[in-house]
Structure 1
Amino acid sequence: MTLSLFAPTEASRSPRTIAPGAVLLGGFALPDADTLLAALPEILAVAPFRHMVTPGGRRMSVAMTNCGALGWVSDRAGYRYETVDPATGWPWPAMPRVLGDFARRAAQAAGFSGFAPDVCLINRYEPGNRLALHQDRDERDFAHPIVSLSLGASADFLFGGPARGDRVEKLPLHHGDVVVWGGVARRHYHGVAPLEPGQEGVFGQVRINLTFRRAG
Protein backbone atom coordinates (compact mmCIF):
# COMPACT_ATOMS: atom_id res chain seq x y z
CA MET A 1 0.00 0.00 0.00
CA THR A 2 1.42 3.37 -1.01
CA LEU A 3 0.59 6.72 0.55
CA SER A 4 -0.97 9.07 -1.97
CA LEU A 5 0.83 12.39 -2.14
CA PHE A 6 -2.02 14.10 -3.98
CA ALA A 7 -3.90 16.84 -2.16
CA PRO A 8 -7.02 15.58 -0.33
CA THR A 9 -10.47 16.53 -1.51
CA GLU A 10 -12.24 19.50 0.03
CA ALA A 11 -14.58 17.11 1.86
CA SER A 12 -11.66 15.24 3.44
CA ARG A 13 -10.16 18.55 4.60
CA SER A 14 -13.32 19.64 6.40
CA PRO A 15 -13.11 19.38 10.22
CA ARG A 16 -14.61 16.11 11.42
CA THR A 17 -15.85 15.67 14.98
CA ILE A 18 -14.62 12.35 16.34
CA ALA A 19 -16.25 12.77 19.75
CA PRO A 20 -17.38 15.78 21.79
CA GLY A 21 -14.17 17.78 22.23
CA ALA A 22 -12.16 15.80 19.64
CA VAL A 23 -11.71 16.97 16.04
CA LEU A 24 -9.86 15.61 13.00
CA LEU A 25 -8.48 18.36 10.75
CA GLY A 26 -7.78 16.46 7.55
CA GLY A 27 -4.85 17.90 5.58
CA PHE A 28 -4.71 20.98 7.81
CA ALA A 29 -0.88 21.07 7.81
CA LEU A 30 -0.33 20.50 4.09
CA PRO A 31 0.18 24.19 3.23
CA ASP A 32 2.82 24.45 5.98
CA ALA A 33 4.38 20.98 5.76
CA ASP A 34 7.69 22.01 4.18
CA THR A 35 8.22 24.80 6.72
CA LEU A 36 7.34 22.52 9.63
CA LEU A 37 9.68 19.80 8.38
CA ALA A 38 12.51 22.31 7.99
CA ALA A 39 12.36 23.01 11.74
CA LEU A 40 13.14 19.42 12.72
CA PRO A 41 16.87 18.98 11.87
CA GLU A 42 17.94 21.76 14.25
CA ILE A 43 15.97 20.14 17.08
CA LEU A 44 17.35 16.68 16.37
CA ALA A 45 20.93 17.98 16.23
CA VAL A 46 20.61 19.00 19.90
CA ALA A 47 18.24 16.27 21.15
CA PRO A 48 18.45 13.17 18.90
CA PHE A 49 15.79 10.49 18.79
CA ARG A 50 16.16 7.81 21.44
CA HIS A 51 14.23 4.78 22.74
CA MET A 52 13.10 5.42 26.31
CA VAL A 53 12.15 2.67 28.73
CA THR A 54 8.95 2.23 30.70
CA PRO A 55 8.92 2.23 34.52
CA GLY A 56 8.80 -1.55 34.23
CA GLY A 57 12.03 -1.57 32.23
CA ARG A 58 10.61 -2.30 28.76
CA ARG A 59 12.21 -0.54 25.80
CA MET A 60 9.69 1.55 23.87
CA SER A 61 9.53 0.66 20.17
CA VAL A 62 8.79 4.27 19.16
CA ALA A 63 11.82 6.57 19.18
CA MET A 64 11.20 10.03 20.62
CA THR A 65 12.58 13.40 21.60
CA ASN A 66 11.23 16.81 22.66
CA CYS A 67 11.52 20.54 22.20
CA GLY A 68 10.16 23.34 24.35
CA ALA A 69 10.53 24.50 27.92
CA LEU A 70 9.83 20.96 29.13
CA GLY A 71 10.25 17.47 27.73
CA TRP A 72 8.35 14.27 28.43
CA VAL A 73 10.55 11.43 29.67
CA SER A 74 10.08 7.86 30.77
CA ASP A 75 12.46 5.67 32.76
CA ARG A 76 12.38 3.38 35.78
CA ALA A 77 11.56 6.41 37.94
CA GLY A 78 8.27 6.93 36.08
CA TYR A 79 6.61 9.14 33.49
CA ARG A 80 7.12 12.89 33.92
CA TYR A 81 8.22 16.20 32.41
CA GLU A 82 11.77 17.51 32.85
CA THR A 83 13.44 20.80 31.93
CA VAL A 84 16.69 18.97 31.05
CA ASP A 85 17.26 16.19 28.52
CA PRO A 86 18.54 13.25 30.61
CA ALA A 87 20.49 11.91 27.62
CA THR A 88 22.62 15.06 27.24
CA GLY A 89 22.30 16.99 30.51
CA TRP A 90 21.33 20.07 28.47
CA PRO A 91 18.01 21.93 28.36
CA TRP A 92 15.69 20.74 25.65
CA PRO A 93 15.98 22.79 22.44
CA ALA A 94 13.57 25.71 22.29
CA MET A 95 10.36 25.17 20.37
CA PRO A 96 10.70 26.92 16.99
CA ARG A 97 8.16 29.69 16.62
CA VAL A 98 6.79 28.12 13.44
CA LEU A 99 5.80 25.00 15.41
CA GLY A 100 4.20 26.89 18.29
CA ASP A 101 2.29 29.17 15.92
CA PHE A 102 1.04 26.18 13.96
CA ALA A 103 -0.19 24.41 17.09
CA ARG A 104 -2.09 27.52 18.17
CA ARG A 105 -3.78 27.81 14.77
CA ALA A 106 -4.74 24.13 14.76
CA ALA A 107 -6.21 24.38 18.26
CA GLN A 108 -8.16 27.47 17.22
CA ALA A 109 -9.50 25.68 14.13
CA ALA A 110 -10.74 22.88 16.41
CA GLY A 111 -12.50 25.31 18.74
CA PHE A 112 -9.83 25.80 21.43
CA SER A 113 -8.66 29.39 21.60
CA GLY A 114 -5.67 30.68 23.54
CA PHE A 115 -3.62 27.48 23.39
CA ALA A 116 0.04 28.17 24.25
CA PRO A 117 2.06 24.92 24.09
CA ASP A 118 5.27 24.63 26.10
CA VAL A 119 6.09 21.06 25.00
CA CYS A 120 6.38 19.36 21.63
CA LEU A 121 6.90 15.61 21.91
CA ILE A 122 8.28 14.20 18.64
CA ASN A 123 7.77 10.50 17.92
CA ARG A 124 9.32 8.45 15.10
CA TYR A 125 7.42 5.35 13.96
CA GLU A 126 8.92 2.65 11.76
CA PRO A 127 7.05 -0.39 10.35
CA GLY A 128 5.73 -2.52 13.19
CA ASN A 129 5.94 0.25 15.82
CA ARG A 130 2.81 0.98 17.82
CA LEU A 131 1.64 3.07 20.75
CA ALA A 132 -0.59 1.28 23.24
CA LEU A 133 -3.85 2.84 24.40
CA HIS A 134 -3.13 5.37 27.13
CA GLN A 135 -4.26 8.67 28.64
CA ASP A 136 -2.15 11.84 28.64
CA ARG A 137 -2.24 12.67 32.34
CA ASP A 138 1.25 13.90 33.27
CA GLU A 139 0.34 17.54 32.62
CA ARG A 140 -0.57 19.88 35.47
CA ASP A 141 -3.72 21.37 33.97
CA PHE A 142 -6.11 19.35 31.81
CA ALA A 143 -7.90 22.50 30.64
CA HIS A 144 -5.53 22.69 27.67
CA PRO A 145 -6.04 20.54 24.54
CA ILE A 146 -3.62 18.15 22.86
CA VAL A 147 -2.65 18.92 19.25
CA SER A 148 -1.25 15.96 17.29
CA LEU A 149 0.30 16.42 13.82
CA SER A 150 1.04 13.51 11.45
CA LEU A 151 3.86 13.72 8.89
CA GLY A 152 5.15 11.05 6.54
CA ALA A 153 3.72 7.54 6.30
CA SER A 154 0.07 6.89 7.08
CA ALA A 155 -1.05 5.25 10.32
CA ASP A 156 -4.25 4.23 12.09
CA PHE A 157 -4.98 6.42 15.11
CA LEU A 158 -7.03 4.75 17.85
CA PHE A 159 -9.39 6.96 19.83
CA GLY A 160 -11.48 5.59 22.67
CA GLY A 161 -13.34 6.98 25.64
CA PRO A 162 -12.57 7.94 29.25
CA ALA A 163 -12.44 4.26 30.32
CA ARG A 164 -9.99 1.74 28.91
CA GLY A 165 -12.77 -0.63 27.93
CA ASP A 166 -14.75 1.93 25.92
CA ARG A 167 -15.29 1.44 22.20
CA VAL A 168 -12.28 2.48 20.13
CA GLU A 169 -12.56 4.18 16.75
CA LYS A 170 -9.82 3.59 14.18
CA LEU A 171 -8.95 6.72 12.18
CA PRO A 172 -6.56 6.55 9.19
CA LEU A 173 -4.18 9.51 9.43
CA HIS A 174 -2.16 10.77 6.48
CA HIS A 175 0.60 13.28 5.88
CA GLY A 176 -0.61 16.69 7.06
CA ASP A 177 -3.55 15.49 9.16
CA VAL A 178 -4.05 16.95 12.64
CA VAL A 179 -6.10 15.63 15.56
CA VAL A 180 -7.04 17.94 18.43
CA TRP A 181 -8.75 16.79 21.63
CA GLY A 182 -9.60 18.66 24.79
CA GLY A 183 -12.46 19.57 27.09
CA VAL A 184 -14.51 16.47 27.92
CA ALA A 185 -12.28 14.39 25.59
CA ARG A 186 -8.98 15.51 27.14
CA ARG A 187 -8.44 12.29 29.11
CA HIS A 188 -9.81 9.87 26.55
CA TYR A 189 -7.71 6.81 25.79
CA HIS A 190 -5.84 6.90 22.49
CA GLY A 191 -3.00 5.12 20.71
CA VAL A 192 -1.55 4.14 17.34
CA ALA A 193 -1.98 0.75 15.67
CA PRO A 194 1.20 -1.00 14.43
CA LEU A 195 2.59 0.92 11.46
CA GLU A 196 2.08 -1.25 8.41
CA PRO A 197 5.04 -1.95 6.09
CA GLY A 198 4.81 -0.71 2.53
CA GLN A 199 3.69 2.81 3.40
CA GLU A 200 5.59 5.48 1.50
CA GLY A 201 5.76 9.15 2.45
CA VAL A 202 8.22 12.01 2.67
CA PHE A 203 10.40 9.89 5.03
CA GLY A 204 10.01 6.62 3.14
CA GLN A 205 8.25 4.16 5.48
CA VAL A 206 8.69 6.38 8.55
CA ARG A 207 5.98 8.39 10.27
CA ILE A 208 6.80 11.45 12.38
CA ASN A 209 4.23 12.62 14.93
CA LEU A 210 4.46 15.98 16.70
CA THR A 211 2.29 16.27 19.81
CA PHE A 212 1.87 19.72 21.33
CA ARG A 213 0.86 20.12 24.97
CA ARG A 214 0.72 22.62 27.81
CA ALA A 215 2.48 20.82 30.64
CA GLY A 216 3.81 23.52 32.98
Structure 2
Amino acid sequence: MLTVFVEGACFGEGEEVVVPDDEARHALRVRRAQPGEAALVLNGKGLLGRGRVVLLPGRRLAVRLEQVEQQPSPPAPRIRVLAPLPKGPRAGELVDLLSQAGACSWTPLLTKRSSRKPTAALLARLGRVAVAACKQSRRPWLLRVDEPLPLAEALDGLAGAASFLADPQGPTLPGLRAQEHPADLQLFVGPEGGFEAEELEAIAGSGA
Protein backbone atom coordinates (compact mmCIF):
# COMPACT_ATOMS: atom_id res chain seq x y z
CA MET A 1 0.00 0.00 0.00
CA LEU A 2 1.26 3.46 -0.92
CA THR A 3 1.29 5.94 1.98
CA VAL A 4 1.32 9.68 1.28
CA PHE A 5 1.34 12.71 3.56
CA VAL A 6 -0.64 15.86 2.79
CA GLU A 7 -0.03 18.18 5.73
CA GLY A 8 -3.14 19.68 7.29
CA ALA A 9 -5.39 18.75 4.37
CA CYS A 10 -9.13 18.26 4.86
CA PHE A 11 -10.82 15.64 2.69
CA GLY A 12 -13.88 13.41 2.51
CA GLU A 13 -15.09 10.21 0.91
CA GLY A 14 -15.34 10.33 -2.88
CA GLU A 15 -12.88 13.20 -3.21
CA GLU A 16 -9.59 13.15 -5.07
CA VAL A 17 -6.67 14.35 -2.97
CA VAL A 18 -3.85 15.75 -5.10
CA VAL A 19 -0.50 14.59 -3.75
CA PRO A 20 2.16 17.33 -3.25
CA ASP A 21 4.81 17.38 -5.98
CA ASP A 22 7.68 16.11 -3.83
CA GLU A 23 5.56 13.24 -2.52
CA ALA A 24 4.35 12.46 -6.05
CA ARG A 25 7.89 12.37 -7.47
CA HIS A 26 9.00 9.96 -4.76
CA ALA A 27 5.92 7.77 -5.24
CA LEU A 28 6.39 7.57 -9.01
CA ARG A 29 10.18 7.33 -9.29
CA VAL A 30 11.12 5.39 -6.16
CA ARG A 31 7.95 3.65 -5.07
CA ARG A 32 6.78 3.17 -8.71
CA ALA A 33 3.14 3.73 -7.80
CA GLN A 34 0.61 2.35 -10.29
CA PRO A 35 -2.94 3.49 -11.15
CA GLY A 36 -5.49 1.64 -9.05
CA GLU A 37 -2.97 0.77 -6.34
CA ALA A 38 -4.29 0.94 -2.77
CA ALA A 39 -3.20 4.10 -0.97
CA LEU A 40 -3.39 5.65 2.48
CA VAL A 41 -3.48 9.44 2.91
CA LEU A 42 -2.42 11.04 6.20
CA ASN A 43 -2.73 14.71 7.12
CA GLY A 44 -0.87 14.59 10.46
CA LYS A 45 -3.94 15.76 12.39
CA GLY A 46 -5.77 12.49 12.86
CA LEU A 47 -7.45 12.29 9.45
CA LEU A 48 -6.88 9.09 7.45
CA GLY A 49 -8.14 8.40 3.95
CA ARG A 50 -8.04 5.08 2.12
CA GLY A 51 -8.47 4.86 -1.61
CA ARG A 52 -6.84 4.22 -4.98
CA VAL A 53 -4.03 5.90 -6.90
CA VAL A 54 -5.01 8.08 -9.85
CA LEU A 55 -2.49 9.42 -12.38
CA LEU A 56 -3.08 13.01 -13.49
CA PRO A 57 -1.67 14.84 -16.54
CA GLY A 58 1.88 16.10 -16.17
CA ARG A 59 3.08 13.18 -14.06
CA ARG A 60 0.97 14.32 -11.16
CA LEU A 61 -0.63 12.01 -8.65
CA ALA A 62 -3.90 11.88 -6.71
CA VAL A 63 -5.74 9.46 -4.47
CA ARG A 64 -9.47 8.87 -5.00
CA LEU A 65 -10.80 8.28 -1.50
CA GLU A 66 -13.15 5.43 -0.70
CA GLN A 67 -13.06 5.63 3.10
CA VAL A 68 -12.18 8.45 5.52
CA GLU A 69 -11.69 8.23 9.27
CA GLN A 70 -11.08 11.06 11.74
CA GLN A 71 -9.51 10.21 15.07
CA PRO A 72 -10.86 12.71 17.65
CA SER A 73 -7.59 13.33 19.52
CA PRO A 74 -4.14 11.82 20.12
CA PRO A 75 -4.34 8.86 22.50
CA ALA A 76 -3.70 9.64 26.17
CA PRO A 77 -1.35 10.22 27.74
CA ARG A 78 -0.12 12.87 25.30
CA ILE A 79 3.63 12.74 25.85
CA ARG A 80 5.82 15.80 25.37
CA VAL A 81 9.55 15.07 25.49
CA LEU A 82 11.94 17.86 26.46
CA ALA A 83 15.53 16.87 25.70
CA PRO A 84 18.65 18.65 24.42
CA LEU A 85 19.63 18.46 20.78
CA PRO A 86 21.84 15.38 20.26
CA LYS A 87 25.03 15.64 18.24
CA GLY A 88 25.24 14.71 14.57
CA PRO A 89 22.84 12.18 13.04
CA ARG A 90 21.44 11.22 16.44
CA ALA A 91 19.06 14.18 16.23
CA GLY A 92 17.27 12.51 13.34
CA GLU A 93 17.34 9.17 15.14
CA LEU A 94 15.78 10.80 18.21
CA VAL A 95 12.90 12.28 16.21
CA ASP A 96 12.34 9.00 14.37
CA LEU A 97 12.25 6.92 17.56
CA LEU A 98 10.05 9.38 19.45
CA SER A 99 7.57 9.29 16.60
CA GLN A 100 7.54 5.50 16.57
CA ALA A 101 7.08 5.47 20.35
CA GLY A 102 3.99 7.68 20.07
CA ALA A 103 5.25 10.95 21.58
CA CYS A 104 3.25 14.05 20.65
CA SER A 105 6.15 16.48 20.51
CA TRP A 106 9.85 17.05 21.08
CA THR A 107 11.19 20.31 22.47
CA PRO A 108 14.97 20.93 22.17
CA LEU A 109 15.85 21.74 25.77
CA LEU A 110 18.56 24.32 26.49
CA THR A 111 20.57 23.50 29.62
CA LYS A 112 23.91 24.56 31.10
CA ARG A 113 25.67 21.57 29.55
CA SER A 114 23.80 21.67 26.27
CA SER A 115 22.96 25.16 25.04
CA ARG A 116 23.37 24.54 21.30
CA LYS A 117 20.30 25.76 19.44
CA PRO A 118 19.17 23.93 16.30
CA THR A 119 19.19 26.14 13.22
CA ALA A 120 16.02 26.79 11.23
CA ALA A 121 17.38 24.53 8.49
CA LEU A 122 17.98 21.70 10.96
CA LEU A 123 14.51 22.05 12.47
CA ALA A 124 13.04 21.89 8.97
CA ARG A 125 15.04 18.74 8.22
CA LEU A 126 13.95 17.14 11.49
CA GLY A 127 10.37 18.02 10.59
CA ARG A 128 10.82 16.01 7.39
CA VAL A 129 12.17 13.12 9.45
CA ALA A 130 9.00 13.29 11.56
CA VAL A 131 6.88 13.14 8.39
CA ALA A 132 8.81 10.12 7.10
CA ALA A 133 8.37 8.35 10.46
CA CYS A 134 4.67 9.21 10.43
CA LYS A 135 4.28 7.62 7.00
CA GLN A 136 6.37 4.57 7.86
CA SER A 137 4.37 3.77 10.99
CA ARG A 138 1.08 5.02 9.44
CA ARG A 139 0.62 7.20 12.47
CA PRO A 140 -2.46 9.48 12.34
CA TRP A 141 -0.86 12.28 14.39
CA LEU A 142 2.40 13.92 13.34
CA LEU A 143 5.12 14.38 15.96
CA ARG A 144 5.56 18.13 16.48
CA VAL A 145 9.14 19.46 16.46
CA ASP A 146 9.12 22.60 18.62
CA GLU A 147 11.40 25.60 18.87
CA PRO A 148 14.20 25.31 21.48
CA LEU A 149 13.30 26.29 25.03
CA PRO A 150 15.48 27.14 28.05
CA LEU A 151 14.93 24.85 31.03
CA ALA A 152 13.66 27.70 33.24
CA GLU A 153 10.94 28.59 30.71
CA ALA A 154 9.99 24.94 30.32
CA LEU A 155 9.51 24.63 34.08
CA ASP A 156 7.28 27.71 34.10
CA GLY A 157 4.83 25.97 31.78
CA LEU A 158 4.22 22.76 33.73
CA ALA A 159 0.73 23.56 34.99
CA GLY A 160 -1.81 20.84 34.26
CA ALA A 161 0.65 18.17 33.13
CA ALA A 162 2.22 15.28 35.01
CA SER A 163 6.00 15.66 34.74
CA PHE A 164 8.77 13.11 35.06
CA LEU A 165 12.56 13.33 35.09
CA ALA A 166 14.70 10.66 33.42
CA ASP A 167 17.40 10.28 36.07
CA PRO A 168 19.55 7.12 36.47
CA GLN A 169 19.79 7.87 40.20
CA GLY A 170 16.05 8.33 40.62
CA PRO A 171 13.45 5.86 41.92
CA THR A 172 11.71 3.31 39.74
CA LEU A 173 8.90 4.83 37.70
CA PRO A 174 5.54 3.45 38.83
CA GLY A 175 3.09 2.08 36.31
CA LEU A 176 1.05 4.80 34.63
CA ARG A 177 -2.72 4.49 34.68
CA ALA A 178 -5.04 6.81 32.83
CA GLN A 179 -7.27 7.33 35.87
CA GLU A 180 -4.31 8.37 38.05
CA HIS A 181 -2.60 10.88 35.77
CA PRO A 182 -3.60 13.85 33.61
CA ALA A 183 -4.01 13.39 29.89
CA ASP A 184 -0.78 15.34 29.32
CA LEU A 185 2.63 14.08 30.41
CA GLN A 186 6.00 15.81 30.14
CA LEU A 187 9.29 13.93 30.24
CA PHE A 188 12.56 15.77 30.95
CA VAL A 189 15.74 14.16 29.63
CA GLY A 190 19.15 15.66 30.35
CA PRO A 191 22.20 16.21 28.13
CA GLU A 192 25.02 13.68 27.74
CA GLY A 193 26.75 14.96 30.87
CA GLY A 194 23.51 15.09 32.83
CA PHE A 195 21.75 18.02 34.47
CA GLU A 196 23.65 20.28 36.86
CA ALA A 197 22.76 19.86 40.54
CA GLU A 198 20.83 23.14 40.65
CA GLU A 199 18.90 22.13 37.53
CA LEU A 200 17.91 18.84 39.15
CA GLU A 201 16.73 20.76 42.21
CA ALA A 202 14.70 23.13 40.05
CA ILE A 203 13.05 20.25 38.18
CA ALA A 204 12.29 18.39 41.41
CA GLY A 205 10.96 21.60 42.95
CA SER A 206 8.56 22.02 40.04
CA GLY A 207 6.86 18.74 40.94
CA ALA A 208 8.53 16.38 38.47
TM-score, length-normalised on structure 2? 0.22
- Structure with the higher fraction of residues in helix conformation: 2
Name the larger-Rg structure. 2
Query: Greater relative contact order (Cα 8 A, min sep 6): structure 1 or 2?
Result: 1
Give the TM-score taking structure 1 as reference length. Answer: 0.22
